[in-house]
Amino acid sequence: MKIDRFRSAWGIAPGPNMDHWAQWFPVLKAQGYSTYRDSKFWLTCGVEVDIHPLDPSRDFPRLRELCDQTDLELGLMIHSSWFQYLGPRPAGTKADDHLRNYRSLLESIQQLKPSTMNFQSGDQRDLWDVEESIKFYKGTIHIDSELGISGRVYHETHRNRSLFTPYATRRILEAVPELRITADFSHWMVGCERVLDISEGDKVMMDAIVPHVYHIHARIGTTQASQCPEPTNPVFREEKECFERIWKNVIRARVKDGTTRRIVFVPEYGPFPYHPIGSAKTHSEVADEEGKRLQVLFDGYAASSANA
């Protein structure tokens, strides 16, 4: 099992003609995010970017060029509606509206040749009931098949979206078992206001969800915030250990079932208001440090699972 690390571009603007990214991507390469070889196989790393600030005709070719020049694989962050969460939340959208966006966006991004496609998709229960979400996700499975990308799209466990709680997510996965998800469980921990694998009921719930995880947004959250400013500080020990237990179970599940040869993880730490004012380190410093720490940890999980 390969464990590959992508760096989120969240909080780092591309700049005119992507000039900022043109300077930053070589820095990522120097930090070890680009493709390199160890004693066993090629380890591939990359960058995950939000497509919605970009102009497809102008920026997509330039982005692909920059990745090719720096040996970075490309992961994409995509929204099925309410792009970038700008302006008022759209009212009255239904599954069919999101599915039209979903198809159109997937068709437009294929020119980028993405390695991963991560969707923040659907709407949460104040707009949709679970049945509407199930209708939407069943529709995404059909579209993926028609476009020839089945199994390559992951749907994120994110607030404001259909997978906003573990309870709704479990019901959706029971109805759409082929759905593959991105684990960003920091949203669930703050939403539920508790560590997620302590009680027996929560353990059963997480055990049902973990087999569907194929992409990891490896951000440690707390019971009161979706981003921990100092993940290795002892004050956050309980949360840190919870996330590491769950991530270990994800990697074990993928090694055991053999449905994929790789897992991509993104240490997705973002700027204010996710990152608290006055923090000892910037969000970028935390992301880079956590990326290196978790690479070693996750590689160890994969190796021990393969030998078990």
At 44 the pLDDT is 54
Q: Are residues 117 and 236 in the same domain?
A: yes
Q: Are residues 47 and 122 in the same domain?
A: no
- Rounded mean pLDDT of 176-203? 96
- Rounded mean pLDDT of 247-254? 97
Is the confidence at residue 16, as pLDDT, over 60? yes
Q: Are residues 134 and 269 in the same domain?
A: yes
Range of the domain at 36: 1-79
DSSP 8-state symbol, 127: T
pLDDT tens string 147-179: 999 999 999 999 999 999 999 999 999 999 999
What's the whole-model pTM score? 0.94
| Cα R_g (the chain), whole angstroms | 18
Q: Based on the structure, what is the number of domains in the chain?
A: 2
Is the confidence at residue 41, as pLDDT, over 50? no
- Can you tell me the distance from the alpha carbon of 225 to that of 220, in angstroms, rounded to the nearest whole number? 10
At 42 the pLDDT is 45
Residue 102 CA neighbour count, 13 Å, CB half: 27
Q: Average pLDDT, whole number, for the chain?
A: 94
- Can you tell me the distance from the alpha carbon of 297 to that of 276, in angstroms, rounded to the nearest whole number? 26
Burial 224-263 (b: 16+ CB within 10 A, else e): ebbbbbbbeeeebeebbebbbebbbbbbbbbbeeeeeeeb
Q: Are residues 13 and 118 in the same domain?
A: no
- Can you tell me the distance from the alpha carbon of 308 to that of 206, in angstroms, rounded to the nearest whole number? 22
At 195 the pLDDT is 96
Q: Is the dihedral of CA 165, 209, 140, 168 positive or negative?
A: negative
Report how far Cα 149 is from the mean position of its chain's Cα atoms: 18
Q: Are residues 72 and 104 in the same domain?
A: no
Is the confidence at residue 33, as pLDDT, over 50? yes
Chosen domain end from 79, 114, 145: 79
Is the confidence at residue 255, as pLDDT, over 60? yes
What is the per-residue DSSP string for 189-210?
HHHHTS-TTSSHHHHHHHHHHG
Report how far Cα 299 is from the mean position of its chain's Cα atoms: 18
CATH number for position 196: 3.20.20
pLDDT tens string 195-219: 999 999 999 999 999 999 999 999 9
- Can you tell me the distance from the alpha carbon of 126 to that of 178, in angstroms, rounded to the nearest whole number? 25
Q: Are residues 284 and 243 in the same domain?
A: yes
- Rounded mean pLDDT of 104-126? 96
Q: Are residues 42 and 100 in the same domain?
A: no
Residues in CB range of 7: below 8 A, 6 or more apart: 28, 33, 45, 46, 47, 48, 266, 267, 287, 288, 291
Q: Are residues 297 and 251 in the same domain?
A: yes
Q: Are residues 258 and 109 in the same domain?
A: yes
Helix H segments across the chain? 19-30, 56-70, 95-109, 130-147, 166-175, 186-192, 200-209, 237-257, 283-307
Q: Are residues 215 and 157 in the same domain?
A: yes
Residues in CB range of 272: below 8 A, 6 or more apart: none
Cβ neighbours around 65 below 10 Å, total: 12
From residue 274, how far is each of 11, 60, 110, 219, 292 by CA, in Å? 11, 28, 31, 11, 21
Chosen domain end from 39, 62, 79: 79
Q: Are residues 224 and 208 in the same domain?
A: yes
At 32 the pLDDT is 66
pLDDT band at residue 40 under the 50/70/90 scheme: very low
Chosen domain end from 27, 51, 79: 79
Look-up: residue for tokens 């978790």? 294
| Token duo for residue 74 | 């490309």
Report how far Cα 97 is from the mean position of its chain's Cα atoms: 23
Residues in CB range of 61: below 8 A, 6 or more apart: 111
Q: Are residues 220 and 108 in the same domain?
A: yes
Q: Is the dihedral of CA 100, 106, 107, 109 positive or negative?
A: positive
